[in-house]
Amino acid sequence: MPQTFDLILKHGTIHTPGGSEQADIGVTGGKIAAIGTALGDAGEVIDCTGLDVLPGCIDSQVHFREPGLEHKEDLESGSRAAVLGGITAVFEMPNTNPNTDTAERVHDKLARAHHRMWCDHAFYVGATADNAEQLRELERIPGTSGVKIFMGASTGSLLVDDDDALSRVLASGTRRVAIHAEDEGRMNARKDLRVEGDPASHPVWRDDESAMIATKRIIALARKARRRIHILHITTPAELEYIGANKGIATCEVTPQHLTLAGEDAYPRLGTYAQMNPPIRSAAHRDGLWHWLNQGVPDVLGSDHAPHTIEEKAKTYPASPSGMPGVQTLVPLLLNHVAEGRLTLRRFIELTSSGPQRVFGLTGKGRIAVGYDADFTVVDLKKRWTVGKDWLASRCDWSPFEGMDLTGKAVGTIIRGHRVMWEDALADAAIGEPVRFEATQFG
């Protein structure tokens, strides 16, 4: 019996847990209500002929800089860049000013985000030695994506680097803890290896061993605490091999930057614009990440979108800040890797949709299935285009990928049945809501 829906996406190639097929999707009340053909009528019909309809892509690591650092980015501008790039939900990091490390500050971010952010969202709580015992309650606030630990100093003042404090953080709570794994002690001892004016010395200072020591330490501490962890922005093949042997306790993330850029080219061409933490490393490192990605070890892709202004990046290394924008280019960069045969579309979907759902316990997101949120990233896999400055929406107004020729682009971002972006045009208003998690939805 034909039905009437709020929205039907027609004639696209849809990607469900069972595989890809030519079918229509009916949406009612922001949820997927039916999948099939000749579904019926709808208040809105979107013709997806020649397009692929993917589950909504989720970027589980962004820094949108609000509050306190809005000259670089804010929740509105960062989320606008996200939906223009095909992202339907983001998890935002706590190294703001002030840090997001109390219940009051979490609720402040949620209030700032409500229908001002273009995409759905969740916020990390920053771990400190002072709030360790409160994290058990803080991670249960609806709209939080969990706890974040910085083992190595990066942008901001959050740092938990000694084993006692790390153990106290891991003992407080049950949700998976996100980790920035670089060893602060080793990096402090190697600061004299930084060469003034030469950002290519950045990966010499923050070397492979700085990452590996921290990764081994946090996995050992997590095993002792019986606490699941998620290690962010992995940059070395050795770490992925080690995490692959410790999957019972650790999941992990890789970034498009580390899968795309190589230091031999990036530092001479981009200078401090290639500077981030952990660093862009060699082509051999990049190729090693691809090896382990195709062995199935990384669980998610995150952009680690971390913008700084052009004026800040123009400072002489090492006074220049680490970080680069990336939320808007995550989907197109990886679709280009699909087009060039390095990645299958199925693996891309796993890393950006079903992987985040599995790792973080999302409710109603991560797949095209009846009853799930009607979140879709609609892509043209064959579109050839060039990343231009006029397309970029981040307040920082630059990208390390500007001028890059790509194949594959998101042409539509649909969130809970709302067409938020179509062919680079935004909807009239932002409709972002907090992401729901299994761990917090019942209070």
Catalytic residue ranges: 304
The answer to whether the Cα torsion of 71, 308, 312, 426 is positive or negative is: negative
- The first and second tokens of residue 418, run together, are 């709302």
Cα–Cα–Cα angle for 135, 437, 215, rounded to 5 degrees: 55
Rg (CA), the chain: 21
| Torsions phi, psi for 431 (to 5 deg) | -130, 20
Region at 176 (left for phi over 0; alpha for psi -120 to 50; beta for the rest): beta
- The first and second tokens of residue 180, run together, are 């920035």
Residues 192 and 204: their CA atoms lie apart, in Å, by 10
**Cis preceding-peptide flag for 17 (omega within 30 of 0):** no
| Torsions phi, psi for 87 (to 5 deg) | -90, 135
Beta-bridge partners for 5: 42
Contact partners, residue 341, CB within 8 Å, separation at least 6? none
- The first and second tokens of residue 47, run together, are 């013709």
Question: Which helix (H) or strand (E) is 113 found in, with range?
Answer: helix 103-113
| Torsions phi, psi for 215 (to 5 deg) | -65, -45
